């Protein structure tokens, strides 16, 4: 059955898979860049970002030499900003530790910041035709359904079992590796989806045990949901001479390293900020919500004016025009708020 799975997947990918993506080239830099962007983000969203990144940073040295704020600004809207900071750090690793040359095997690739086993394996296959396999969320779902594997995806022993099976399925001919690995990605993204899978179009439906046993909805076993955390956030939107006060967020926590208006968790902290800066309250806006992965932010914006001749700013804070703000990495809800306002 294993050989059947592999052969059917390769044949299907060549006929029905994705072949015109901008990163489907023999360039480890572009392959690596796309793999980082594709973590937790759909292909359709990544395409435009990828093109802009490559235009601005055509080589890894260009990315390594860039300022982090510029990298984050180009990344703005993709979310999960740790990926962008890791991307920038890894580019510097490649230049400083590897002489500007990408590592040519999985274990060396895994030394790069933000590169795990599955990402390193994809780069190794597409750039160097090395016999490595991937095991992201889509692949786990495919394997659990085709082979009726019932286990906790968060369990280390079960994940080890999945890695072993994935390795056994690799095609013997290295020339087939790119089509096979791309086929795993395409099958999970296009056919064997989390909800409403297209089983009638699946090249594996003749051997899929979950399909035969009517367990598609059951497998893989659902993860235990993480409790949603509710966070109150007060925004101090301070205007002076048609410019707005922004500060760079700490490098850890919500919106790490992005530019944002001053944020406070309670009224007392906001009140102290008002007193310290002689602010004049103009308007309190209606509270709105913004969902992060495991947090729901309840955001209340306050508009303030800074009196004339009082524009001394705190450390790491300065005033920006709206046009200047467009060049910065802003949190998505703040960017949308200013666009609407």
d(CA 325, CA 293): 25
The first and second tokens of residue 200, run together, are 């009638």
d(CA 4, CA 125): 21
Burial of 258 (0-12, 13-18, 19+ CB in 10 A): buried
Cis check: omega of the bond before 220, within 30 degrees of 0: yes
d(CA 252, CA 340): 28
Catalytic residue among 35, 61, 175, 283: 35
d(CA 100, CA 92): 9
Q: What is the CA radius of gyration of the chain?
A: 24
d(CA 128, CA 174): 10
Nearest to 118 by CA among 142, 137, 135, 138: 135
Contact 109, 120 (CB under 8 A): yes
Catalytic-residue membership of 70: no
Nearest to 31 by CA among 168, 163, 132, 166: 132
The kind and range of the H/E element at 320 are strand 317-320
Burial of 301 (0-12, 13-18, 19+ CB in 10 A): buried
Contact 193, 123 (CB under 8 A): no
Given the DSSP bridges, would you call strands 229-240 and 295-305 parallel, antiparallel or unpaired?
A: parallel
Q: Which residues are catalytic?
A: 35
């Amino acid at each position: 059955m294993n050989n059947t799975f592999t052969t059917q997947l390769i044949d299907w990918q060549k006929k029905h898979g994705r072949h015109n993506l901008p990163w489907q080239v023999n360039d480890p830099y572009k392959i690596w860049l796309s793999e980082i962007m594709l973590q937790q983000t759909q292909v359709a969203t990544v395409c435009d970002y990828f093109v802009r990144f490559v235009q601005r940073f055509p080589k890894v040295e260009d990315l390594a030499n860039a300022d982090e704020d510029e990298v984050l600004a180009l990344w703005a809207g993709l979310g999960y900003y740790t990926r962008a900071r890791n991307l920038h750090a890894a580019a510097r690793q490649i230049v400083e530790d590897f002489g500007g040359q990408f590592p040519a095997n999985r274990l060396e690739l895994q030394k790069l910041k933000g590169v795990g086993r599955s990402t390193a394996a994809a780069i190794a296959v597409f750039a160097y035709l090395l016999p490595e396999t991937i095991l992201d969320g889509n692949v786990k779902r495919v394997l659990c359904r085709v082979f009726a594997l019932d286990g906790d995806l968060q369990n280390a022993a079960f994940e080890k079992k999945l890695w072993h099976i994935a390795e056994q399925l690799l095609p013997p001919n290295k020339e087939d590796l790119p089509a096979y690995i791309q086929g795993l990605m395409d099958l999970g993204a296009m056919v064997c989806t989390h909800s409403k899978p297209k089983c009638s179009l699946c090249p594996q439906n003749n051997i899929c045990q979950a399909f035969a046993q009517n367990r598609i909805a059951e497998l893989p076993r659902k993860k235990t949901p993480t409790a949603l955390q509710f966070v109150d956030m007060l925004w101090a939107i301070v205007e002076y001479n048609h410019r707005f006060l922004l500060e760079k967020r700490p490098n850890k926590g919500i919106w790490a390293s992005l530019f944002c208006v001053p944020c406070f968790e309670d009224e007392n902290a906001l009140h102290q900020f008002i007193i310290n800066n002689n602010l004049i309250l103009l308007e309190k806006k209606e509270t709105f919500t913004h969902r992060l992965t495991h947090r729901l932010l309840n955001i209340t914006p306050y508009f303030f004016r800074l009196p004339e001749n009082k524009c001394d700013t705190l450390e790491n804070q300065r005033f920006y025009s709206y046009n200047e703000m467009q060049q910065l990495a802003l949190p998505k809800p703040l960017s949308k708020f200013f666009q609407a306002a």
